[in-house]
């Protein structure tokens, strides 16, 4: 079985074709270009606090200000909407209504921009770098419905959330829907070799007879044989060692353990996650968000656990341990994170 066939079998219907690239940013660029070719439209809707890569097209879709500002002005045609964040009040409604309010905001944005001008909506199934924001399921389902209604293509940036990170092979498999283009990278080869991929459904495919005939997105080292071997080996090991199931179990243990241990601590604002992608948001006490993250990371390191902050505007420790983490190690991480909070004051 080829790597393309393997990816299609893991993702399932309705995906029909695979395009290979080199990096996650490269794959995002390809997806954006494919959406333009397929629809003949030019605008893309993305999210503030979304993370999509470092190249100019990906960075234009990117919604994290500190990454964008040094390179502005970026490419035209990218329209940003607030994320469906239930913590920070972008939508002034009760938490259980944020998903519906955010879908309505996207609908109004599409109508203001003109549906005939919008080629794609791009989003992360979990906003990883922007603070481990977990969208309500109804929000992502609502985006699927809006795209179907207006003839827009839905792009899921699954570079961080793919290959077991959320307790499924791909995060969209939690939802009962599928995007039109699925962007993959990182876990595809476990970092041993550069390789990325875009999975496409028929209505998003710019390669067939309905394509424009424009030159396709090409890089010299795309689909390199060594990367394909690394990907096939990675997928084999994930399946052989039941790492998807382990990620689901350890993720539930980590998130549940943190909620029980620290949710009531005055320095904790929120605990959230999906699988082994968990965010621990800290409450500032007048200090800079990055400085607070650094202080907390040092306190965790002193207890034998390495953690990192996010690149979004709020102080969030984004926890993404290896898929091989054990139950005992998860307990150690939870205890260290809880204990380290005492050092903040």
- Domain extents for the chain? 3-240, 243-344
Positive or negative: CA dihedral 324, 327, 328, 331: positive
Q: Are strands 118-123 and 43-47 parallel, antiparallel or unpaired?
A: parallel
Beta bridge partners of 181: 155, 200
pLDDT in the model for residue 151: 98
Asked whether the domain spanning 243-344 has the same topology as the one spanning 3-240, the reply is no
Residue 162 DSSP SS3: coil
d(C-alpha 141, C-alpha 184), whole Å: 20
Top-tier CATH class for 243-344 = alpha beta
Structure tokens at 105: 């905001």
Nearest to 255 by CA among 301, 299, 317: 317
d(C-alpha 22, C-alpha 42), whole Å: 24
Nearest to 211 by CA among 27, 35, 26, 30: 35
d(C-alpha 275, C-alpha 162), whole Å: 11
Task: Count Cβ atoms within 10 A of the Cβ of residue 221 and give its class: 0-12 exposed, 13-18 middle, 19 or more buried.
Answer: middle
pLDDT in the model for residue 286: 85
State the CB neighbour count (10 A cutoff) for residue 253: 17
d(C-alpha 141, C-alpha 120), whole Å: 15
Top-tier CATH class for 3-240 = alpha beta
CA angle 160, 161, 167 (to 5 degrees): 145
Helix (H) or strand (E) holding 181: strand 181-184
Task: Count Cβ atoms within 10 A of the Cβ of residue 209 and give its class: 0-12 exposed, 13-18 middle, 19 or more buried.
Answer: exposed
Q: Are strands 278-282 and 196-201 parallel, antiparallel or unpaired?
A: unpaired
Q: Tens of pLDDT along the chain (345 residues)?
A: 899 999 999 999 999 999 999 999 999 999 999 999 999 999 999 999 999 999 999 999 999 999 999 999 999 999 999 999 999 978 999 999 999 999 999 999 999 999 999 999 999 999 998 999 999 999 999 999 999 999 999 999 999 999 999 999 999 999 999 999 999 999 999 999 999 999 999 999 887 655 555 667 888 888 899 999 999 999 999 999 999 999 999 999 999 999 999 989 999 999 999 999 999 999 998 889 999 999 999 999 999 999 999 988 899 999 999 999 999 999 999 999 999 999 998
User: How many residues comprise the chain?
Assistant: 345
pLDDT in the model for residue 234: 98
3-state helix, strand, coil in the chain (%, to 5): 45, 15, 40
Residue 9 DSSP SS3: helix
């Amino acid at each position: 079985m080829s790597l393309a066939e393997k990816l299609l079998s893991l993702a399932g219907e309705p995906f029909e074709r695979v395009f290979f690239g080199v990096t996650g940013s490269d794959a995002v660029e390809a997806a954006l270009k494919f959406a333009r070719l397929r629809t003949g439209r030019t605008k893309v809707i993305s999210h503030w606090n979304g993370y999509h890569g470092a190249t100019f097209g990906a960075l234009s879709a990117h919604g994290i200000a500190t990454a964008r500002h040094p390179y502005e002005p970026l490419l035209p045609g990218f329209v940003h909407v607030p994320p469906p964040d239930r913590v920070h009040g972008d939508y002034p409604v009760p938490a259980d209504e944020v998903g519906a309010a955010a879908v309505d905001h996207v609908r109004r944005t599409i109508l203001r921009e003109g549906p005939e001008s919008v080629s794609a909506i791009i989003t992360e199934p979990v906003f990883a770098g922007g603070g481990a924001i977990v969208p309500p399921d109804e929000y992502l389902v609502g985006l699927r419905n809006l795209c179907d209604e207006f003839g827009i293509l839905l792009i899921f940036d699954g570079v961080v959330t793919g290959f077991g990170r959320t307790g499924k092979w791909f995060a969209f498999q939690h939802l009962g829907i599928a995007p039109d283009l699925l962007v993959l990278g990182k876990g595809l080869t476990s970092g041993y070799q550069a390789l990325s991929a875009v999975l496409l459904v028929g209505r998003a495919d710019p390669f067939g007879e309905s394509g424009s005939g424009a030159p396709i997105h090409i890089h010299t080292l795309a689909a390199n044989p060594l990367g394909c071997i690394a990907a096939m080996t990675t997928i084999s090991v994930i399946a052989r060692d039941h790492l998807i199931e382990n990620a689901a179990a350890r993720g539930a243990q980590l998130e549940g353990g943190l909620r029980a241990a620290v949710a009531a601590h005055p320095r904790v604002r929120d605990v959230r996650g999906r699988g082994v992608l968990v965010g621990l948001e800290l409450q500032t006490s007048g200090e800079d968000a990055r400085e607070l993250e650094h202080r907390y990371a040092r306190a965790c390191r002193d207890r034998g656990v390495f953690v990192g902050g996010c690149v979004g505007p709020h102080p969030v420790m984004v926890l993404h341990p290896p898929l091989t983490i054990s139950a005992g190690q998860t307990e150690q991480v939870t205890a260290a994170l809880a204990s380290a909070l005492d050092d903040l004051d």
